[in-house]
Amino acid sequence: MERLHDIGEDALIERITAGLSLGSDVVAGAGDDCAVLESADPAVYELLKTDCLVEGVHFAVDSDPEQVGWKALCRSLSDIAAMAGKPRAALVTLAVPGDREVAVVEGWYRGLRLAAERYGVSIVGGETSSLPDKSNAAFLSITLTGSVAREACVLRGGARVGDAIVVTGSLGGSLTSGRHLNFEPRLSEAAWLAANFRPSAMMDLSDGLAKDLPRLAKASGDLGWRIDLESVPVENGCDLAAAIGDGEDYELLFTVSAESVGELRRTWAEAFSGPKLTVIGEITRDMETPLQGGWDHFPNS
């Protein structure tokens, strides 16, 4: 009898999403950071994203509820950023055992509201469910809608051989440092990149470079990569393995033409005082730097 941890997360998703029938208004379905749909305005695409936080997986029982709420919305905001989009409306689904404190749920909502107000999102509805047993893991599931100018939208499948591979910020240690609970989604940085440098591909780093870069390369026509491991921006207190494999960085991973790198570096430094920008390698035909690690929801046990 085949079980989920026998096949792993990516194989599961491939199986269940294979051959889904999509309407002609769907520009990109399952597999990118967001789904992309045509809107009534031919110059604008709609973006749709859903994402969930499970207690014991994405946050601890004793995590600060307000930070949990912040993280719940900011994870989806990070995916809207990965398309160079602008967020709009959110739906919030909560499932919690009935004997939990009201104050925990109220704390989650305080964090959700903080993030919603900060990034201009309307919380327009949701769903609240009990769980059958008090030992069950509580969860928050968020849906976020957004929009992006058709010409600015960046998918993850457009990288070309020779493109530079670039990341924002520094990587690793997000779970141990607590950064995963209070990070800032790179919405303005991504919009700036799309407007000024048209990345050929972009995604956000949520499962770690070792897991996410292969997804970008695969979506771009089964390309490879060469990573200059010494250039990977490692967060203080971490080692390279953590930077590549920890995940939950919520930084941008993108590719741009090699010719634009000089100009990109110069103007980025003028535009943003916060997160740095690092070229870590190059898209190649064949894979030259295998990477180990990254997060899998159903790892082989």
**Within positions 205 to 234, which residues make up the interface with a copy of itself, using CB under 8 A?**
none
Q: Does 21 bind a copy of itself (CB under 8 A)?
A: yes
Q: What's the rounded Cα separation, in Å, for the pair 253 and 240?
A: 17
Q: Does 143 bind a copy of itself (CB under 8 A)?
A: yes
Q: Does 139 bind a copy of itself (CB under 8 A)?
A: yes
Q: Given candidates 14, 117, 148, 212, which one binds a copy of itself under the rule CB under 8 A?
A: 117
Q: Does 151 bind a copy of itself (CB under 8 A)?
A: no
Q: Does 9 bind a copy of itself (CB under 8 A)?
A: yes
Q: Given candidates 64, 118, 126, 191, which one binds a copy of itself under the rule CB under 8 A?
A: 126
Q: Given candidates 15, 230, 270, 273, which one binds a copy of itself under the rule CB under 8 A?
A: 15
DSSP letter at 266? H
Within residues 87-106, the interface with a copy of itself by CB under 8 A covers: 88-89, 91-93, 95-103, 105-106
- The radius of gyration of the chain's CA atoms, rounded to the nearest angstrom, is 19
Q: Closest separation between CB of residue 43 and a copy of itself, Å? A: 9
| Residues constituting the chain | 301
Q: Does 12 bind a copy of itself (CB under 8 A)?
A: yes
Considering only the C-alpha atoms of the chain, give the largest distance between any 2 of them, rounded to a whole number of Å: 59
Residue 19 region by backbone torsions, left for phi larger than 0, else alpha for psi between -120 and 50, else beta? left
Q: Given candidates 150, 160, 276, 297, which one binds a copy of itself under the rule CB under 8 A?
A: 297
Q: Does 118 bind a copy of itself (CB under 8 A)?
A: no
Supply φ then ψ for residue 188, to 5 degrees: -70, -35
Q: Does 269 bind a copy of itself (CB under 8 A)?
A: no
* Contact by Cβ (8 Å): 197, 268: no
**Structure-token pair, residue 25:** 């208004």
**Nearer Cβ to a copy of itself, position 133 or 270?**
133
Within residues 162-201, the interface with a copy of itself by CB under 8 A covers: none
How far CA 204 is from CA of 15, 21, 161, in Å, comes to: 23, 26, 20
Q: Does 299 bind a copy of itself (CB under 8 A)?
A: yes
Q: What's the rounded Cα separation, in Å, for the pair 144 and 135?
A: 29
Query: Residues in contact with a copy of itself, total (CB under 8 A)?
Result: 85
How far CA 116 is from CA of 69, 90, 95, 120, in Å, comes to: 10, 8, 20, 6
